[in-house]
Structure 1
Amino acid sequence: MSVTATEVSQPPKRRFRISFGWQILIAIALAIPLGLIGRAMGPTEEGPNWLVFTLQTIGDTFVTLLQVAVPPLVFLAIVTSIANLRKVTNAARLAWQTLLWFCITALISVGLALGLGLLTNPGLHTSVTEEQAAAPSSSGSWLDFLNNLVPANVLGLSADSSLEVAPDGTNTVSTGLEFNVLQIVILAIVVGIAALKVGAKAEPFLAFTESALEIVQKILWWVILLIPVGTLGLLGYRVADYGWDAISALGVFTLTLYVGLALVLFGLYPALLRLHGLSPLRYFAKAWPAIQVAFVSQSSVGTLPITQRVTERGLGVPREYASFAVPFGATTKMDGCAAVFPALSAIFIAQFYGIQLGITDYLLIVFVSVIGSAATAGITGATVMLTLTLSTLGLPLEGVGLLAAVGPILDMGRTAVNVAGQALVPVIVAKREGILDLDRYNAERGADTLDDEPAEGTEPEGDRVLATVGGGSGDAPGGPAEPAPGDATAERKD
């Protein structure tokens, strides 16, 4: 049979587009000079100048959009994942493995921080004075963990009111709603288990949650497309607002902290990946959008939707497991805020006040760093973790004020390491349990991350993949599950 020229289909021409990674790099390149210009312009009588105000508005709006997606995403994803785990008998093993590796990475991270602190002695090389010492308004306690496990309401929301006094004497009361991710996780787990116990009558509800999750993820995709614009606003405002003036008095401490964070991010994490036969370069290529947004936004919770997306679609962790591990990690997995920072800060404050730390004190620092993040779950923050560490050691809480001047600058690096760890542990656990999609993990960066929206049907087959946990499928340990017929993972949708 002859084929005419008109019957031969021509391959479609690929339209020119800038990749997502380059869009972010361009945003960073524009944000730094814009921030410097805004800082040079100085404030006006009414407040920040128009450029700084614009950058701040863009950045705050982007973070708000991400945070709006967190409660429905976490709730729907966990309920759906529990429903999909009905045929899996090793879900409890995944949970314990996740907690174990949270502790392992925290233990190594705090060990690195203690070594650096004893090497550099940051408290002996500073020009801050005791007049700058001040106790924080909030602190952590070991009872917070139990209190935060119990949801205050069915939505896990709480109201926060504040009184603002204007220069003309006018009082304004503002009230904002805040959500507790840990409480939402607990609620979703309870609802998911209850739905399974109800049986067939809960099928319409489970079908609804699965459909609602797809809608939320579609909306989230639209928000993710704004990452370059959000990066421009967030980073530009950081440069304009903070500058680097405050670093001079705490230069040794700031440098030591960032060296410690770099050792964890670019030393410890790649070593663990290599130990499990995974490419660190692939990990950073896929996880970098979440790490970068965490750096400029200073919010693990705000970055959570992006972290979960890259963990599932880029790094090959099954959705049913990632839906639990990533949100849980956003509240309890903080190598930057709960390990490196409190350890170095405790050494700094002890040296500043001339207090000698003994071996027992260092062991307490390790204990608080490994276990203490759970005690502050739901009210996470570097200051809360630091106060928990200081109170456990009996060090003066007023020492927190000594570090306040460089807090925002430090928080950028701390949050980036937090988010990197929240994506790393699910990858390690999935690899150890033989459920990691290695084809997806090792694929070139593209449709599997944030460059393009994956085509329908490219999601990992959760039940099929997770059924291999603990063996029984015949796959080699850590190997990918048998591809489902018609799997289109490698396809790219332009």
Structure 2
Amino acid sequence: MDNWLIFFNVLILTILIGLLIVMHKKNVSFSKRVFTGMALGIILGTLLQVFYGSDSKVTLSTLDWYSIIGSGYVKLLMVIVVPLVMVSIIRSIINLNTADQLGKMASSVIGTLVLTTLVAAFIGIASALIFDLNADQIHIGQDQKMRGTEIQEKFDTMEQKTMPQRIVNFIPSNIFMDMTGGRPTSVIAVVIFSFLVGIAVLGVRRKDPEHAEMFTKMVDAVFAVVMRLVSIILRLTPFGVLALMANMVASTNFAGIMELGKFVIASYVALITMFIVHLVIVSAFGVNPVTYLKKVIPTLVFAFTSRSSAGTIPLNIAAQKNALGVDDATANMSASFGATMGQNGCAGIYPAMLAVMIAPSAGINPLSPEFIIQLAIITAISSFGVAGVGGGATFAAIIVLSSMGLPIALAGVLITVEPLIDMGRTALNVNGSMVSGTITSRLLGTFNKETFNNKSAVVEHAEA
């Protein structure tokens, strides 16, 4: 009987995918198909919860099949991250004709990411204080204890590395290993290597233009193929969003969410507030926030459902270049760096809120100005070093809590609501990287206003 129910559930997903295909054939816009996929995923996941429960054999087996579409799509995006970033950055630098702007570009992108993380930390602190969050109020069960032990073990492996050592990990020593994603800092290592290659080509162009021209043509050819591949994969986005959202809703522990409801609400109040700050920032740089929002929503929806900043890099780059009008080099740098440093949600809001929650259990007054200022500064600085230990909210929390002298293991009390909050955090992280790219492009004078104001210039036209 269970096998028939699983078959029926898979058939429903197949029918819904067919509906999205019909919408595509009728030229329904990319954004509408993404939102439709998200809505259908929520409905499908809810039905699985209601009829079978989140822990039933039927649900778990069904989600296993659904993951072929959801997780499979994320893997396809991940596989094109390295060739896309490498070829795009090399090509962008070659087209610059000079390396003078690279320093300004890098400092602007990284500076924006870190400064917005500082603002995010203050917002996280304020939200935790307003909602009076306290770790002592939360019931600690077996799952939370196990999670706390796991976090403590991770801290023990990280404790030996200083911040400078983590930053040194950015520098590639074996680019072929980094191209396989063999290290936590592989993406940044690939970015650094690509910049070095691009700068080297500029030097060759001055001394041996014939060889430089030959290499440039080769890069252009590879770039055309990679962008076509990106275009093909991005067309699968509505299907991926559908399956990912169904998986998330069907497997969510709503009882745990009810118990930690105040933290969930406080988290999303902070995330939404920071998102509004992002819109204010782009507006201050002469970018229409409403138009900006319309252009980036499909990318943010995927980031929300996939919970993967790295997996969103191809969509992020395509949206910046083809919808927002950001230049190639800036789009690639901001998307790549934003996936591993200065993450406003994971490395800004989340660890700051945790620190405020846990402080009373360590006899620290979270209202103390010294505590608040120290926490905000440490959070912003640590956001730059998170990539050195693999990125992610857990690592950011470990770095901040340990730096503040707070117990690490208590971070495990939020395990039941982690997936739900992580969706919002990831979307904010990705938007922060897009904001840094937009601002940098505006400052460098490379922002294409015609592309930004063109309503037909949207993210799905990745091959443009």
TM-score of the alignment, normalized to the shorter chain, above 0.5: yes
- The C-alpha deviation readout for 1:195-236, integer Å capped at 9, x for no partner, is 333343343223212211111110010100000000011000
- The C-alpha deviation readout for 1:253-272, integer Å capped at 9, x for no partner, is 1111110000011x201211
Q: Give how far 1:43 is off.
A: 7.1
Provide the C-alpha distance between the structure 1 equivalents of 2:442 and 2:180, rounded to a whole number of angstroms. Answer: 41
User: Structure 1 residues 371-380 or 223-232, which shifts more?
Assistant: 371-380
Corresponding residue for 1:69? 80
Q: Give how far 1:433 is off.
A: 3.0
Which of residues 429, 433, 455 is equivalent to 1:418?
Answer: 429
| Residue 402 in structure 1 maps to residue 408 in structure 2 | no
Provide the C-alpha distance between the structure 2 equivalents of 1:75 and 1:238, rounded to a whole number of angstroms. Answer: 32
Amino acid at match of 1:138: K
User: Structure 1 residues 336-345 or 426-435, which shifts more?
Assistant: 426-435
| Closer, same or farther: CA 44–16 of 1 in aligned 2, 3 Å | closer
Corresponding residue for 1:193? 199
Provide the C-alpha distance between the structure 2 equivalents of 1:443 and 1:158, rounded to a whole number of angstroms. Answer: 35
SS at match of 2:256: helix
Provide the C-alpha distance between the structure 2 equivalents of 1:398 and 1:146, rounded to a whole number of angstroms. Answer: 25
- The C-alpha deviation readout for 1:140-185, integer Å capped at 9, x for no partner, is 552552342232522243989xxxxxxxxxxxxxxx9977211111
CA contact (8 A) 2:178 2:187 kept: no
Provide the C-alpha distance between the structure 2 equivalents of 1:116 and 1:177, rounded to a whole number of angstroms. Answer: 34
| Residue 104 in structure 1 maps to residue 112 in structure 2 | no
Q: Give how far 1:42 is off.
A: 4.1
Unaligned runs of 5+ residues in structure 2 are 1-24
CA contact (8 A) 2:89 2:328 kept: no
Q: Give how far 1:120 is off.
A: 1.5
User: Structure 1 residues 126-135 or 297-306, which shifts more?
Assistant: 126-135
CA contact (8 A) 1:117 1:256 kept: yes
**When the two structures are superposed, what TM-score results if normalisation uses the length of structure 2?**
0.85
Provide the C-alpha distance between the structure 2 equivalents of 1:70 and 1:159, rounded to a whole number of angstroms. Answer: 10
Provide the C-alpha distance between the structure 2 equivalents of 1:356 and 1:453, rounded to a whole number of angstroms. Answer: 51
Amino acid at match of 1:279: N
Corresponding residue for 1:294? 303
Corresponding residue for 1:37? 47
Which of residues 226, 233, 236 is equivalent to 2:236?
Answer: 226
- The C-alpha deviation readout for 1:279-335, integer Å capped at 9, x for no partner, is 111111111111111000000000000000000110011113222222122221300
Corresponding residue for 2:12? none
Q: How does 1:91-490 map to 2 (within 5 A)?
A: 91-123=102-134, 126-129=137-140, 132-133=144-145, 134-135=148-149, 136=151, 137-139=153-155, 142-143=163-164, 145-157=166-178, 180-199=186-205, 200=208, 201-265=211-275, 267-357=276-366, 358-377=368-387, 379-444=390-455, 446=456, 448-452=457-461
Unaligned runs of 5+ residues in structure 1 are 1-14, 161-175, 456-494
- The C-alpha deviation readout for 1:350-402, integer Å capped at 9, x for no partner, is 23454334433322321222221221215110000000000100101111211
**When the two structures are superposed, what TM-score results if normalisation uses the length of structure 1?**
0.80
Q: Give how far 1:22 is off.
A: 1.5
Provide the C-alpha distance between the structure 2 equivalents of 1:396 and 1:240, rounded to a whole number of angstroms. Answer: 33
| Closer, same or farther: CA 246–44 of 1 in aligned 2, 3 Å | closer
| Closer, same or farther: CA 405–228 of 1 in aligned 2, 3 Å | same
| Closer, same or farther: CA 65–177 of 1 in aligned 2, 3 Å | farther
Provide the C-alpha distance between the structure 2 equivalents of 1:371 and 1:432, rounded to a whole number of angstroms. Answer: 24
Provide the C-alpha distance between the structure 2 equivalents of 1:185 and 1:441, rounded to a whole number of angstroms. Answer: 26
Provide the C-alpha distance between the structure 2 equivalents of 1:148 and 1:124, rounded to a whole number of angstroms. Answer: 34
Amino acid at match of 2:349: V
Which structure exhibits the higher relative contact order, with contacts defined as CA atoms closer than 8 Å and separated by 6 or more residues? Answer: 2
CA contact (8 A) 2:228 2:462 kept: no
User: Larger Cα Rg: Structure 1 or Structure 2?
Assistant: 1
Q: Give how far 1:237 is off.
A: 0.1
| Residue 56 in structure 1 maps to residue 52 in structure 2 | no
CA contact (8 A) 2:131 2:266 kept: yes
Amino acid at match of 2:176: L
Corresponding residue for 2:7? none
SS at match of 1:300: coil
- The C-alpha deviation readout for 1:28-51, integer Å capped at 9, x for no partner, is 221112112223324788675443
Provide the C-alpha distance between the structure 2 equivalents of 1:76 and 1:454, rounded to a whole number of angstroms. Answer: 14
Which of residues 85, 91, 97 is equivalent to 1:86?
Answer: 97
CA contact (8 A) 2:63 2:247 kept: yes
Identical-residue share of aligned pairs (%): 28
Q: Give how far 1:124 is off.
A: 6.1
CA contact (8 A) 1:55 1:232 kept: no
Aligned alpha-carbon RMSD (Å): 2.5
Structure number having the greater helix percentage: 2
Corresponding residue for 1:20? 30
User: Structure 1 residues 435-444 or 139-148, which shifts more?
Assistant: 139-148
CA contact (8 A) 1:144 1:376 kept: no
Amino acid at match of 2:356: I
Provide the C-alpha distance between the structure 2 equivalents of 1:367 and 1:254, rounded to a whole number of angstroms. Answer: 24
